[in-house]
Amino acid sequence: MDLAYTPRQKAFREEVRAWLAANLPREPLASYDTREGFEQHREWERKLFDARLSMVIWPEALGGRGCDLIEWLIFEEEYYGAGAPMRVNQNGQLLLGPTLIEFGTEEQKARFLPRMASSEDMWAQGWSEPNAGSDMAAITSKAILSADGTHYVVNGQKTWSTRASFADWLFGLFRSDPGSSRHHGLSYLAVPLDAPGVTIRPIQALNGKQAFAEIFFDDVKVPVENRIGDEGQGWHVAMATAGFERGLLLRSPARFQYTARRLVELYKANREVADRDPSIRDAVIEAWTGTEAYALSAYHTVGRLAKGARIGAEASTNKIFWSELDLKMHETAMRILGPFAELTGDAPEAREAARWLDGFLFAQAGPIYAGTNEIQRNIIAERMLGLPK
Amino acid sequence: MDFTFTDDQLTFREAVSRFLMTEAAPEMLREIWETDSGRSPELRKNIAEQGLTALSVPEDCGGLGMDDVAWALMTQELGYYAIPDSLADAAYVAAGLITALPAGTASREEWLARIAEGSIRIAVGHPVNPLVADANPANLLLLADGDAVHAVPREQVDVEANPSIDLSRRLARVRWTPATATLIADGESGRALWAQTLNRGVLSAAGQLLGLAQRMLDLSVDYVAQRKQFGKPIGSFQAVKHHLADVATKIEFAKPVLYRAAYALAHGEAGADARVSHAKLACGEAAWLAARHGIQVHGAMGYTWEVDLQMFMKRAWALDAAWGDRGFHKARVADAILVEGAALGPGHTFEE
Ligand SMILES: Cc1cc2nc3c(=O)[nH]c(=O)nc-3n(C[C@H](O)[C@H](O)[C@H](O)COP(=O)(O)OP(=O)(O)OC[C@H]3O[C@@H](n4cnc5c(N)ncnc54)[C@H](O)[C@@H]3O)c2cc1C
């Protein structure tokens, strides 16, 4: 155990810090759940990419910087610590990206990854269907290989696809063997969202914005080169993605530590009001202890990975931990803000309340997306503790 | 930056675990519970023969010179097996205090040598604990008179037993009169010694609580896999699964907090108090949840004397408030994070 950063790690931190100080947008970007905000975030991603800071853990040849996971944690600390914009393309970059690196052909990596790193291509996820939510193996959308074997013909419907109204591509699972059921006969495809036969219908989310969409496929032709992994092996490939998602990458600790810091500041600025309810102080303390625990767990895991360990079902404890923590922190902020908490960004008296409200609304979804927390508890019980099905 | 244990440290933990598995089996615990002293000279002798009393003692006094990080592993094992012995009080907490005395103070070197060979029991009367654990069987007591530290032979104190629900804990009110002959440190240095001693005591309790949590989870997993109702193992019912998944999650996120605290102590970091208190809170909460959910999934069996779960629950309930209750530790964390200019947020987990 040696908890000092190396000179190289320190220098990297300084570099990132200096770059962010010089390049952060002066004004906050518009919400990425709007077309305008989405494009602003795309521009910001491009800027990060040009500085080779968009995907620091990817190899240089793919538009990354070849950093190890400790450096990635450092990057995230500086990034969120500086209050930098949310990462609009993270479903592609953090979920599909590692999947392609593990399962993609060389051609696919070259075709998709650099454009993903630069956000020239923005990616939406296509897992859920109207009748396949938690039970993802119930999906029925089909991708049938053409007789000449050159392309799939896709029919069916996906739903809840985050920012699909604005995205360029979709990745997800389709049933390529029509006679199959459950986890078998599925293939993992990348589908361009401007292909003929694709219809996208935005769904308004809790915040009134087009945060996700349903997608209809009507005889959409998808070249066979867009299949990731083997035909019929889609479930296996998708599970790797789900692992990345629940595990470390999607929710690095820094984002929550930043929220905890803001919460402590909010509490200190409003102590007279907040202390009338003693449970608020407790919750503020727990914001710090919880986010530190999450960060420590990430460093511990990264260290174990570096020594050759693999993340197993314990990734599911991560998902529960961060989503409940994030919710609790935002609930606490709402309680401190009291009668101002309901004010939206349009309210002249909202001040910092509107930002907390946005975060509060999104935090409601944390225990639902990326596999609900009930499903995670099932996984922990069955795969980590070995309890019977 | 490497926040993991070395192979040597993990092997050491394995060895301790294997040793305690046979030496401190639940049947043995029950036997020792029934004795007047609540202590087994035989067990202490075996522990000493394994070299476990010598862990913290400096090498030049016949010890192994291990630091707090090793104790973060060791104390989890002591908790997991709920050993009926205050080993960590002497071998870790008291050894730490005595080691920190200037060379030649009182019988410093002799005490350390005797701790290492396991021939002395030392009770620690830190003011945070109203009662002193193992005061009766102790040979020597480290007691506080304000900031002053006294090393008082057992014969010079009056001890009144205060039985605990955990029969392995032997608590006593200690009455004594400070004398210059027993003074080993005072003023600034006394205050510093008590502060370090507090942190070691807290870390020791935290590690034991985490080990207890894991033990109660393991016992519960075993039980629900084997007990059948409605024609299947109760462990297949989702409500039962989720109870235990929540315990596993709490444990998972308490571990690294304990390790971070141990490192902070070993390296004398300025922020060690808050890290150590955080560890105590996290491990205590994990242990209490493991007890609550553990008894729930055991049904009435969990409410009996007969089923082993009780031994671990009782230790967990007791240790949660030993070396400072939750209010005490929350206040220490609050002091650190609410102070003007506190280093909070991303990037301050390892550097202040
Ligand atoms: C903000 C947001 C963004 C999303 N983005 C995407 C995206 O980009 N792409 C995508 O494909 N999907 C996305 N989703 C969908 C998400 O993956 C699903 O909502 C999730 O898998 C749950 O499915 P469901 O909504 O159908 O709920 P259901 O499966 O109907 O679940 C409803 C409730 O029943 C419980 N439940 C269901 N089955 C069980 C069980 N076996 N045991 C115990 N409890 C159970 C659930 O835990 C939940 O509490 C997003 C969702 C949200 C909220």
Per residue in A211-257, pLDDT (tens digit) is: 999 999 999 999 999 999 999 999 999 987 666 555 677 789 999 99
Q: Which fold has domain B189-338?
A: Butyryl-CoA Dehydrogenase, subunit A; domain 3 (1.20.140)
Cβ-count burial of A251 within 10 angstroms (0-12 exposed, 13-18 middle, 19+ buried)? buried
| Pocket of ligand 1, beta carbon within 6 A | A 125-128, 133-134, 160-162, 212, 365, 368-369, 372, 374-375, 378
Q: Find chain A residues with C-beta within 8 A of B232's C-beta.
A: 388
Q: Find chain B residues with C-beta within 8 A of A3's C-beta.
A: 1-3, 260, 263, 267, 350
B178-224, pLDDT tens digit by residue?
A: 999 999 999 999 999 999 999 999 999 999 999 999 999 999 999 99
| ipTM for this prediction | 0.96
Give the Cα separation of B220 and B215 in Å (integer): 8
Q: Which of B253, B337, B351 sits opposite A294 (nearest CB)?
A: B253
With bands split at pLDDT 50, 70 and 90, how would you rate the model's confidence at A315?
confident
Question: Mean per-residue pLDDT for A371-382?
Answer: 96
From the CA of B311, how many Å to the nearest CA of chain A? Answer: 22
**pLDDT value, residue A247:** 67
Q: Which of B1, B238, B342 sits opposite A6 (nearest CB)?
A: B1
From the CA of A5, how many Å to the nearest CA of chain B? Answer: 5
- Do residues B224 and B234 lie in contact, with contact meaning Cβ atoms separated by under 8 Å? yes
Percent of chain A with pLDDT over 90: 91
Q: Please check the confidence at residue A355 and state whether its pLDDT lies above 80.
A: yes
Packing angle of the helix pair A278-306, A253-269 (nearest 10 deg) = 160
| Whole-model pTM over 0.95 | yes
* Residue to substitute in A91, A128, A136, A206 for testing ligand 1 pocket (most ligand atoms within 8 angstroms of CB): A128
CA A318 / ligand 1 centre spacing (Å): 17
Q: Kindly state the greatest CA–CA separation across chain A.
A: 73
Hey, what are B255's tokens?
A: 């571990």
Establish if A31 touches chain B: CB-CB under 8 angstroms: no
Q: Find chain A residues with C-beta within 8 A of B334's C-beta.
A: 281, 285
Q: Which of A295, A296, A381 sits opposite B241 (nearest CB)?
A: A381
Q: How many CB atoms lie within 10 A of CB B155?
A: 6
Q: Which of residues 45-64 of A touch B (CB under 8 A)?
A: none
User: What is the torsion angle, in degrees rounded to the nearest 10, for the CA atoms of residue B333, residue A4, residue B203 and residue B213?
Assistant: 90
Question: Mean per-residue pLDDT for A275-291?
Answer: 97
Give the Cα separation of B257 and B251 in Å (integer): 10
Half-sphere exposure of A347 (CA within 13 A, CB side): 14
Give the Cα separation of A297 and B232 in Å (integer): 36
Establish if A289 touches chain B: CB-CB under 8 angstroms: yes
From the CA of B106, how many Å to the nearest CA of chain A? Answer: 35
Give the Cα separation of B212 and B200 in Å (integer): 18
- Do residues A130 and A159 lie in contact, with contact meaning Cβ atoms separated by under 8 Å? yes
Domains, chain A, with CATH or none:
7-88 (1.10.540.10), 123-233 (2.40.110.10), 247-384 (1.20.140.10)
Question: Mean per-residue pLDDT for B136-146?
Answer: 97
From the CA of A198, how many Å to the nearest CA of chain B? Answer: 39
**pLDDT value, residue A250:** 79
Q: Find chain B residues with C-beta within 8 A of A385's C-beta.
A: 217, 221, 241, 244-245, 248
Q: Find chain B residues with C-beta within 8 A of A13's C-beta.
A: 347
Please enumerate in sequence order all residues whose Cβ is within 8 A of that of B338, keeping only pairs 6 or more positions apart, or say none.
Answer: A264, A267, A268, A284
Q: Which residue has the tokens 């980590």?
A: A384
**pLDDT value, residue B343:** 93
With bands split at pLDDT 50, 70 and 90, how would you rate the model's confidence at B8?
very high
CA A156 / ligand 1 centre spacing (Å): 19
Residue A252, Cα to own-chain centre: how many angstroms? Answer: 10
**pLDDT value, residue A309:** 87
Question: Mean per-residue pLDDT for A325-341?
Answer: 98
Give the Cα separation of A314 and A299 in Å (integer): 14
Q: B339: nearest CA in chain A?
A: A268
Question: Choosing among B252, B335, B348, which should be mutated to test the A contact, i.e. which has the most A CBs within 10 A?
Answer: B252
- Do residues B182 and B49 lie in contact, with contact meaning Cβ atoms separated by under 8 Å? no
Q: Which of residues 239-258 of A touch B (CB under 8 A)?
A: 253-254, 257-258
3-class SS of residue B252: helix
Question: Mean per-residue pLDDT for A136-145?
Answer: 97
Q: Which residue has the tokens 């393309």?
A: A89
Core vs surface per residue B307-318: b (16+ CB within 10 A) or e: bbbbbbbbbbbb
Q: Across chain A, what does the average pLDDT equal?
A: 95
Tell me the residue type at B302: G
Residue A76 is among the residues annotated as catalytic for this protein: no
B265-307, pLDDT tens digit by residue?
A: 999 999 999 999 999 999 999 999 999 999 999 999 999 999 9
Q: Where are the domains of chain B?
A: 189-338
Q: Which atom of ligand 1 is nearest to the CA of A126?
A: 11
Q: Please check the confidence at residue B138 and state whether its pLDDT lies above 90.
A: yes
Q: Which of B2, B334, B349 sits opposite A296 (nearest CB)?
A: B349
B302-344, pLDDT tens digit by residue?
A: 999 999 999 999 999 999 999 999 999 999 999 999 999 999 9
Long-range contacts (CB closer than 8 Å, 24 or more residues apart) made by B232-236: B232/A388, B233/A387, B233/A388, B234/B297, B235/A381, B235/A387, B235/A388, B236/A387, B236/A388, B236/A389
Q: Please check the confidence at residue B352 and state whether its pLDDT lies above 80.
A: no
Of the listed A245, A265, A349, A382, which one is catalytic? A245
